[in-house]
């Protein structure tokens, strides 16, 4: 499963905002310079993150962006879904509002047979969703910061690394 640069750059943007002390707004220009990312692309991504309620903005000379809630309360499934939309391992997968997974190939099959690969791709999707939901922004900030103090998520940097 490949995610686009929207997810990669958006997560990097969120980590950079998570590194900032307190609630000081950060300019996108400083994030672009720190992460070596294109400013115009970050502007597009931050609009999606703002719409999802993950970041807030402040206008003016000392304005910028900051996290809308503590980093320990922001999970990566929320970030990736805000940027990429629905997470699906195959183009034929569609999730219903009730959480059921539908496969567009099932309509092509004869009789009551289900899609032969649906079980596999459902498990892949569930694994990816579980990994994203189980990873907080605070963990990524800690993991990316040398000698950072432990975060209050209950998982140490060593535990995060050993999970890799």
Q: How many beta carbons lie within 10 A of that of residue 56, not counting itself?
A: 15
110 is written with which tokens?
Answer: 């004869």
pLDDT of residue 30: 93
The CATH number that domain 1-68 falls under is 1.10.10.10
Q: What is the reported pLDDT for 63?
A: 86
Using the predicted structure, report yes or no on whether residue 64 has a pLDDT greater than 60: yes
Q: What is the mean pLDDT of the chain?
A: 83
Between 40 and 105, whose confidence is greater?
40
First to last CA, the chain: 17
pLDDT tens by residue, 108-150: 445 566 677 778 888 888 899 999 999 999 999 999 987 655 5
**Two structure tokens written together for 89:** 């391992």
What percent of the chain is modeled with pLDDT above 70? 74
- The average pLDDT across 16-44 equals 91
Q: Which of 124, 84, 130 is nearest to 103 (CA)?
A: 124
Q: Is the pLDDT of residue 52 over 80?
A: yes
Domains of the chain, residue spans: 1-68
pTM above 0.85, yes or no: no
């Amino acid at each position: 499963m490949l995610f686009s640069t929207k997810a990669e750059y958006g997560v990097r943007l969120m980590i950079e905002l998570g590194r900032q002390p307190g609630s000081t707004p950060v300019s996108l220009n400083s994030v672009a310079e720190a992460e070596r990312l294109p400013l115009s692309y970050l502007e597009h991504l931050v609009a999606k993150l703002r719409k999802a309620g993950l970041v807030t903005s402040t206008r003016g000379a000392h304005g910028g962006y900051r996290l809308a809630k503590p980093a320990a309360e922001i999970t990566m499934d929320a970030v990736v879904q805000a940027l990429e939309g629905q997470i699906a391992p195959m183009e034929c997968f569609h999730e219903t509002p009730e959480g059921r997974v539908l496969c567009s190939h099932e309509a092509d099959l004869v009789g009551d047979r289900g899609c032969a690969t649906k079980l596999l791709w459902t498990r892949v999707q569930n694994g990816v969703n579980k990994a994203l939901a189980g990873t907080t922004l605070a963990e990524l900030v800690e993991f990316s910061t040398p000698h950072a103090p432990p975060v209050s998520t209950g998982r140490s940097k060593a535990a995060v690394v050993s999970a890799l």
